[in-house]
Amino acid sequence: MASTQRGAIFPAEGGGEGGVLDFIKQALGKGCFDAVLVPAKLSGSDSFTYSLIKDESLLKDTYPICPIMPVQGAKALSSLTGRGKGKKGIAALVRPCEVRATVELFKLGQVDLGNIFLISIDCPGALPLADWAKDPKKAEEAFSELLKGGASESLRPVCRICDKFSTTGGEDLHIGILGAKSGRIFLIPSSPKGKNILDCIGISVEEDISEWKDKVDRLTEERREKRRQAQKELEAKAVGLDKLLDVFSKCINCHNCMRVCPICYCRQCFFDSDNMKFAFEDYLRRAEMMGGLRLPPETLLFHLGRMLHMSLSCVSCGACEDACPTSIPVAQVFSLVGDKNQKEFDYVPGRSLNEPLPLRVYEEKEFEEVEQSYVETSAKQEAQDA
- Residues from 295 through 354 that contact other proteins (CB under 8 A): 295-296, 299, 322-327
For 71-108, give the DSSP string: S-HHHHHHHHHTT---SS-EEEEE-HHHHHHHHHHHHT
- In angstroms, the CA 63 to CA 17 distance is 8
Residue 160 has phi, psi (to 5 degrees) of: -65, -25
Taking CB under 8 A as the criterion, the residue among 274, 364, 371, 376 binding other proteins is 274
- In angstroms, the CA 89 to CA 117 distance is 7
Nearer Cβ to other proteins, position 23 or 50? 50
CB of 85 to other proteins, least distance (A): 6
Partners of 6 in beta bridges? 208
CB of 15 to other proteins, least distance (A): 24
Quote the distance between the C-alpha of residue 264 and its chain's center: 12
Taking CB under 8 A as the criterion, the residue among 149, 151, 192, 268 binding other proteins is 268
For 172, residues 6+ apart whose C-beta sits below 8 A from its C-beta are 117, 118, 119, 189, 190, 191, 193, 194, 197
Nearer Cβ to other proteins, position 134 or 228? 134
Q: Which stretch binds other proteins (CB under 8 A): 22-30, 34-42, 137-145, 368-376?
A: 34-42
CB of 193 to other proteins, least distance (A): 18
SS3 114: coil
Q: Are strands 6-11 and 116-121 parallel, antiparallel or unpaired?
A: unpaired
Taking CB under 8 A as the criterion, the residue among 157, 163, 200, 278 binding other proteins is 278
Taking CB under 8 A as the criterion, the residue among 52, 147, 300, 307 binding other proteins is 52
CB of 209 to other proteins, least distance (A): 32
SS3 5: coil
Nearer Cβ to other proteins, position 104 or 322? 322
Q: Which positions from 67 through 86 interact with other proteins, judged by CB under 8 A? A: 70-71, 75-76, 79-86
Nearer Cβ to other proteins, position 88 or 218? 88
Nearer Cβ to other proteins, position 37 or 185? 37
CB of 174 to other proteins, least distance (A): 22
Quote the distance between the C-alpha of residue 133 and its chain's center: 21
Taking CB under 8 A as the criterion, the residue among 236, 284, 308, 361 binding other proteins is 284
For 306, residues 6+ apart whose C-beta sits below 8 A from its C-beta are 257, 258, 261, 264
Nearer Cβ to other proteins, position 53 or 97? 53
CB of 182 to other proteins, least distance (A): 31
Residue 6 has phi, psi (to 5 degrees) of: -110, 150
- In angstroms, the CA 145 to CA 269 distance is 41
CB of 83 to other proteins, least distance (A): 4
Taking CB under 8 A as the criterion, the residue among 25, 219, 230, 283 binding other proteins is 283
Beta strands in 127-282 (DSSP E): 173-176, 184-189, 207-208
For 136, residues 6+ apart whose C-beta sits below 8 A from its C-beta are 46, 47
Q: Which positions from 225 through 254 interact with other proteins, judged by CB under 8 A? A: 246, 249-250, 252-254
CB of 152 to other proteins, least distance (A): 22
Interaction pattern, residues 133-152, with other proteins; x per rule: CB under 8 A: xx------------------
CB of 252 to other proteins, least distance (A): 5
- In angstroms, the CA 161 to CA 233 distance is 13
Q: Is residue 182 close enough to count as binding other proteins by CB under 8 A?
A: no
- In angstroms, the CA 324 to CA 331 distance is 10
Nearer Cβ to other proteins, position 236 or 284? 284
- In angstroms, the CA 54 to CA 89 distance is 11
Would the CA dihedral through 27, 25, 90, 20 be positive or negative?
positive
CB of 19 to other proteins, least distance (A): 22
